[in-house]
Structure 1
Amino acid sequence: MARHKKERALRGRAGRMQGGRGSGRASSGQVRLWGRHAVEAALKNPERQHHKLWAVREALETLDGELPEGFPVEYAQAADLARHVTKDTPHQGLVLECAPLEDIHLEDVLGAGADRPLVILDQVTDPHNVGAILRSAAAFGAAAIVTQDRHAPPESGVVAKSASGALETVPWVRVVNLSRALDEIAEAGYWRIGMAGEAEATFAEALPAGPIALVMGAEGEGMRQNIKAHCDSIARLPISSSIESLNVSNAAAIALYAIATRAS
């Protein structure tokens, strides 16, 4: 059992807290998470319903906190854990089986404050990119990410590993109609800035004071035309002409940094 010098308990008993910050993940059945940061964050999340932890003893000792008494742990060798995850998965000796997080609705995250942007993803389907964007959202204080349910990856171990714990802390809102969600976001007082490489204005020029909804499209195709039409302005990052574009997760991180450091 992992211990910390302050004996801070991992709060991961089976069961969810009511009224907490859940996230819609479009997952059914069980979810398997792996890697120290993803597993540790999930164990500390009181909104998670946990079922079983497979662990190498040495890896369990690296966790920050103490598992509740009676928590279901099955000890195994690192090679044995490979059968619980996809091929060549970097599980770091920890695999957690749990239930998906509860859905969260758009109205629950609107109005978080002028300094807490929303990140809207239009058909960004790569789980590594979504996980990396969650990580940047956590780093720069974004209120939530918003995706269309049919065109986004489900909650998964790949997303969680790429998010490095942020899957448990950043609300992930899934909506049926992204255009309608952008209308609701505008009504709540957010300025919707769509990111596109062909835009004339730079992001700094388009960045106003007040709440920001950052709208990012998929790599290659970019934002759909209907989503562009629901933005208040379109902007680009001033990158060198020697490179065509940035990875969507890198672009999101730069834009979120610019929002976090803008002059008041």
Structure 2
Amino acid sequence: MEENFESRIIEGRNAVLEAFRSGKTIDRLFILDGCKDGPVQTILREAKKHKDTVISFVKKERLDQLSETGKHQGVIAYGASYNYAEVDDILERAKQKGEDPFIIILDNIEDPHNLGAIIRTANLAGAHGVIIPKHRAASLTATVAKASAGAINYTPVAKVTNIANTIEDLKDKGLWFACADMGGTTMYQLNLKGPIGLVIGNEGSGVSRLVREKCDMIASIPMKGDIDSLNASVACGVLAFEVVRQRLS
């Protein structure tokens, strides 16, 4: 993995606990002074297994001052920053597991909460990694880490200069690509088995024309309601678990 860093702050009980459990290096741990409930005791037990972690008990004002998300739940950690993977690391992960590659590609997702939720979904759906663009999109920050509920520590995220070119390169390596868009073929009628890349577009404008043209299939989610689109992270979840369903059948 390349040493490409973004944010060193990890906030919230689940995110901090998962960071410890995944073996991430935590330099400092700040805990709300006097907080003795079960989850905090569990975090303290994990922290004490890591001899290099400095533990500080501080007042709420100090935590509020340190917090980037405003939702620290009485726990903030400073860790070695989030590493970005290379695309080849993601393919290697699939190979090591003896599975067809399953990659989620995000075409300019801007909301960090959506990015975090998608990384969480990718982890639970067994995707081998997530690819995001370097420009005009959310990147790995404390808010993303918290929204991912710790999945950021397990699911590789690669950052690339050009999504369309990356899709071309991966097609040469045998992957098929389905992008989520309205007006495509209902996802239940598509063959989403084998080495697959799932492309999710920007929250407002969807998948860009250039990226859509590189995709082999356009997958639509059948919808019955009165509004015309799902949240990007929810759409990703629906399509990702259709891939899971087809792989299990």
TM-score of the two chains, using structure 2 as the length reference: 0.87
Unaligned residue ranges in structure 2 (runs of 5+): none
What is the Cα deviation at residue 241 of structure 1?
4.4
> Quick one: distance in 2 between partners of 1:23 and 1:124?
22
Is 1:156 the counterpart of 2:134? The answer is no
Kindly provide the amino acid, as one letter, of the partner of residue 214 in structure 2. H
Is 1:34 the counterpart of 2:14? The answer is no
> Quick one: distance in 2 between partners of 1:156 and 1:225?
28
What is the Cα deviation at residue 80 of structure 1?
3.0
Task: Find the partner of 1:212 among 178, 182, 196.
Answer: 196
> Quick one: distance in 2 between partners of 1:70 and 1:179?
43
> Quick one: distance in 1 between partners of 2:104 and 2:200?
8
Equivalent residue of 1:182, what SS? helix
Q: Which has the higher helix share?
A: 2
> 2:122 — aligned with what?
137
The percentage of aligned residue pairs carrying the same residue is 27
Provide, for residues 220-241 of structure 1, a one-character-per-residue CA deviation record: whole Å limited to 9, x for no partner.
2011110001101111000114
Residues 190, 212 of structure 1: 8 Å contact kept:
yes
Is 1:124 the counterpart of 2:109? The answer is yes
* CA RMSD across the alignment: 2.1
Is 1:72 the counterpart of 2:54? The answer is yes
Kindly provide the amino acid, as one letter, of the partner of residue 54 in structure 2. P
Q: Which has the higher strand share?
A: 2
Equivalent residue of 2:14, what SS? helix
> Quick one: distance in 2 between partners of 1:246 and 1:82?
33
What is the Cα deviation at residue 102 of structure 1?
2.7
Q: Which moved more, 1:61-70 or 1:95-104?
A: 61-70
> Quick one: distance in 2 between partners of 1:180 and 1:156?
25
> Quick one: distance in 2 between partners of 1:25 and 1:133?
21
Distance change (3 Å), C-alpha of 1:86 and 1:71? closer
Task: Find the partner of 1:110 among 88, 91, 97.
Answer: 91
> 1:5 — aligned with what?
none
> Quick one: distance in 2 between partners of 1:124 and 1:246?
14
Residues 110, 188 of structure 1: 8 Å contact kept:
no
> Quick one: distance in 1 between partners of 2:5 and 2:239?
27
> Quick one: distance in 1 between partners of 2:5 and 2:221?
32
> 2:177 — aligned with what?
192
Unaligned residue ranges in structure 1 (runs of 5+): 1-21
What is the Cα deviation at residue 62 of structure 1?
3.2
> Quick one: distance in 1 between partners of 2:61 and 2:228?
42
Is 1:53 the counterpart of 2:29? The answer is yes
> Quick one: distance in 2 between partners of 1:202 and 1:93?
45
Kindly provide the amino acid, as one letter, of the partner of residue 104 in structure 1. A
> Quick one: distance in 2 between partners of 1:52 and 1:188?
42
Is 1:182 the counterpart of 2:167? The answer is yes
Residues 148, 174 of structure 1: 8 Å contact kept:
yes
Distance change (3 Å), C-alpha of 1:23 and 1:96? farther
Equivalent residue of 1:91, what SS? coil
TM-score of the two chains, using structure 1 as the length reference: 0.83
